[in-house]
Structure 1
Amino acid sequence: MNKKVDLLKGHIFTSLTELAFPIMISALIQMAYNLTDMAWIGIAGAPAVAAVGAGGMYVWLSQGVVALAKMGGQVKVAHALGGDRKEEAAVYASGALQLGLLFSVLFGALCVFGAKPLIGFFGLSDRLIMENARAYLRITCGLIVFSFMNVILTGILTAMGDSRTPLKANTIGMVLNMILDPFLIFGAGPVKGFGVSGAAAATVIAQAVVTLVFLNAVRKDRLVFDKVRLIKKVPADYMKSMIRIGFPASVQNLIYTSISMIITRFVAEFGDTAVAVLRVGGQIESISWMTADGFAGAINSFVGQNYGAKQYTRVKKGYFTAAAVMFFWGLFCTFLLIAFPKQIFGLFIHEADVIPMGVRYLVILGVSQMFMCVELTTVGALSGLGKTLLSSVISIVFTSARIPLAMFLGSTALGLDGIWWAFSISSILKGILFFLCFIIVSRRLDGYQEKFFL
């Protein structure tokens, strides 16, 4: 069976869902991957969760760094393949992988040698929590190369219409992580567990295996990867083109994570336990945003290839189909978070005094899930057109608004709940604005002018 989906012909819903379904399953697997970590760490108690939450913020930040290579490579590979330029696609793939390797070395070194001030930023009060957070940071980010390679390879394969290989690789990684987590965190028999450091080690080992699975798969490819040359210099104009596409998306992700880190510091003022609630709540909420982000990867490749082939009507229909699917998925997630918050949160945090805080988090964030899903889907579509700057400007402006909004609402009688409402309100506004933005952009596609696309 052919792993690659033809995105240029056939029924739009069928083509889109055939590509998107494995990506969504991969996203759910990644979610299970993260929740498995959280479930085992939760058994160790809220302080351990807080340590993973602080150290994990820099893992999240790293995704903004690799987004430049991933987004630039995915979009340009899709454009090249849409125009039947396979050699060009391979050059872009080579450049994306080279950038990813460089960024992983630089980011890893920063986290290993700068762990103390990086964790100190959050203002945590417990010495053991800070030590565990630094250990988690050094392990997960010091070996971030595997995560970076997996992200970039996923992007390139998705641009090629192959979403099944990432699904297979991530499934293997999740199963391995589930096996390693309890053993490395708590130990077994005479083997002593490593606690938070064990959770970090389990994650890195699983990611390394995922990378090996990817490499084994792509060495058999005869469309793009057989022409990829990692040690060959990529022409400057190719690199500039990828950076032009990927830089806004990277800045957007970095700023978004930085804003979340600043707000995490606000949250820490309500106690270290509040940081644990933020960490667990965010992981639970990932049931919607990780799935939507996965679907956004599919619509990115769909739009990118059809834009490259100048099939603009198909671009529009593909987007509206994807937006509708994700809106209803968001509604389903809203129902889960509002109807069963205590049951869901109680799976990960077991202290009775912490659970009510987590319940309020899930209910408040549950209000905005469908809007967040539409936002992420639209970002994927606009990025497929190469219009990453517009997406970044909108996202940065409205996500930045969370800081003053959180400061204001957090100082009212709402307290910590005010910070959660700042998250939810901004997501609702972004979802509406992004949808309206694509409608405006789509009306001008048929009369496309190069200068219009930022």
Structure 2
Amino acid sequence: MNNLTKGSISKSILLLAVPMIGTSFMQFANNIIDMFWVGKLGSQAVSAVGVSGFYTHLIWAISSIITVGTSIRVSHALGAENRNEAKVIAMNAVKSTWALSLLFTVLMFIGKPWLGSFFNLSVEGGFDEYFVWMALGLVFTQTTNVLASVSMSHGDSKTPFRFRSIGIGINLVLTPFFIYVLGMGINGAGLATFLSQLIVALLFYGYKHRDYLGDLKAKLNREVLIPIVKLGVSPSVQRIIFSLASIAIGKIVAEWGQEAIAAQKVGHQLEAMTFMTIGGLSGAMMSFSGQNFGAKQYGRIKEAYRVTLRMALVFGVLMTLLLYTQSEPLMRLFVQDQKTVEIGMRYLQIVGLSQVFMIIEMLTTSLINGLGETKLPARVNILILLSRIPLALFLARPDMLGIDGVWWTIFISTFFRGLVISIIYQKTMRSLESNQYSDFQVEKEKALAN
């Protein structure tokens, strides 16, 4: 275990975050190259991949009720130097993740016929073929996600980096080979993704399950699972609402044609440079705050937040400049259809303005979640996310801003999420410091009495 409660704060954060950021950049490169190859199949294929992503991310959001709660509980147990408890928590998390994943795989197959038609996708576009592979790979992606969250709680971000890098490398080689050499089209893109997910899950489980999980023969323990679910339910509901809101927004976008869906998909992948990179810092922040909360090192948490936020904001400003000034060449890397390019340019220019506020919300929410205070940030984010739907419907009217109204809706909601979560952080840290002072006074009075 990498002890995050001692030593240099900036070094601890960087050692934890750099492999995660490296993984995120490799995943970003993988997504971009995938989009490059799939984009050559046409806007319909890009739309099929994008819509499949809506549904798989919804399932990942539901499953995060386990991964988020596990990460927090394991971090607290390790901060309190209770390794056996951490193993029991992780073992229960993995077993429950398997059961949940298998259930969702069945539901994906049952619901497949109407999931594509909801977005007006034609059968010829390849949605059915690609979606099948996503359903089959679900148990493997979820196994990797929960083991990666446990690894991060241990302060080990190198193992997820190594294994996910292998998977990304496999996918980068197999995708063009299956699509073009074997002539499998979008079906080949799905198969390549599935095989990479399978290999990563097997590597992760085979290498780390003894260190992290202990005795897998033990039965699921309800008393262990309930606290995991209680901690994970609020962030999970937030992610579910985000996914549902994204589906609703996607439905609004679909009314403007498949070019609009393709533009949003490409734009979202380009914007991923920000949220995947900051996702690495956010994961480090949650693990750091979790361990230090368990050790009652509140001052270290505040300093870590300042250090991490400064680094992240510099990156956010650079990303805003890139997306705004280079919107057309970035879009033309992946699509040539003029209408798709024009819609995508406006997406990058408008949503690009929200990068700094997105960074503030992501980092701050992760820190607060690491403290075990998951409910209030989730409630705020849920309310703001739900407001996206009526606001988008209003602003996207032909007599208002049209499709640009959807992009402005994303900007407005992201701005307010960053603002409100920052206020919650200030109040939470003042409360922690006040409680720490009270505990100190109690201990001091006990010492004097003795």
Band the TM-score falls in, shorter-chain normalisation: over 0.9
The answer for the alignment partner of 2:19 in structure 1 is: 22
Q: Distance in 2 between matches of 1:63 and 1:296?
A: 18
CA distance in 2, matches of 1:59, 1:231: 30
TM-score by length of 1: 0.93
Letter in 2 for 1:376: M
Per the TM alignment, residue 219 of structure 1 is displaced from its structure 2 partner at its CA by: 4.8
Identity %: 35
Q: Give me the CA root mean square deviation.
A: 1.4
Residues 137, 198 of structure 2: 8 Å contact kept: no
Deviation per residue, 1:29-48 (Å, 9 max, x gap)? 11112212111100111111
C-alpha displacement at 1:290, in angstroms?
1.3
Gaps of 5+ in 2: 437-450
Q: Distance in 1 between matches of 2:176 and 2:329?
A: 22
Counterpart residue identity of residue 408, structure 2: W
Correspondence for 1:202 among 192, 208, 211:
192
Query: Match of 2:139?
Result: 145
CA contact (8 A) 2:320 2:353 kept: yes
The ranges of structure 1 where at least 4 consecutive aligned residues each deviate by more than 3 angstroms after the TM superposition are none
> Where do 1:365-376 residues align within 5 Å?
365-376=351-362
Task: Give the unaligned 5+ runs of structure 1.
Answer: 450-454
Do residues 252 (structure 1) and 238 (structure 2) align? yes
CA deviation after TM superposition for structure 1 residue 220, in Å: 6.5
Q: Does 1:133 align with 2:127?
A: yes
- The whole-number CA distance in structure 2 between the counterparts of 1:203 and 1:363 is 30
Counterpart contact for 2:394–2:400, Cα < 8 Å: no
Give the Cα–Cα distance (whole angstroms) in 2 for the partners of residues 219 and 393 of structure 1.
34
Structure index of larger Rg? 2
User: What CA deviation, in whole Å up to 9, does each residue of 1:319-361 have, x standing for no partner?
Assistant: 2222222222211111110121111111111223321111111
Match of 1:123 in 2: 120
Asked if 1:32 is matched to 2:29, the reply is: yes
Q: How many residues align?
A: 435
Matched residue type, 1:344: L
Q: 1:79 aligns with which of 61, 76, 80?
A: 76
Q: Does 1:158 align with 2:155?
A: no
Amino acid at match of 1:408: F
Aligned to 1:7, the other structure's residue is in SS state: coil
Taking the TM superposition and a 5 Å limit, the aligned residue runs for 1:163-312 are: 163-186=157-180, 188=181, 191=182, 193-219=183-209, 221=211, 224-225=212-213, 227=214, 229-312=215-298
Shift of 1:174: 1.0
Which of residues 327, 330, 342 in structure 2 aligns to 1:344?
A: 330
Q: 1:4-61 deviations in whole A, cap 9, x for unaligned?
A: 5331111111111111111111111111122121111001111110111112211111
Say if 2:55 is the partner of 1:62.
Answer: no
Deviates more, 1:210-219 or 1:75-84: 210-219
Deviations 1:400-426 (A, max 9, x none): 111111111101442101101101111
Aligned AA for 1:388? T
TM-score (norm 2): 0.94
AA aligned opposite 1:154? A
Task: Say whether residues 1:438 and 2:425 are aligned partners.
Answer: yes
- 1:439 corresponds to which letter in structure 2? Q
Q: Is the 8 A contact 1:111 1:142 kept in 2?
A: no
- 1:277-310 C-alpha deviation (Å, 9 max, x unpaired): 1111111111001111221111000000000011
| Cα distance in structure 2, aligned partners of 1:266 and 1:321 | 39
Going by fraction, where is helix more abundant, 1 or 2? 2
1:78 Cα shift?
0.5
| Structure 1 residue matching 2:116: 3-state secondary structure | helix
2:137–2:197 CA contact under 8 A, matched in 1 = no
Query: Contact 1:122–1:261 at 8 Å: present in 2 too?
Result: no
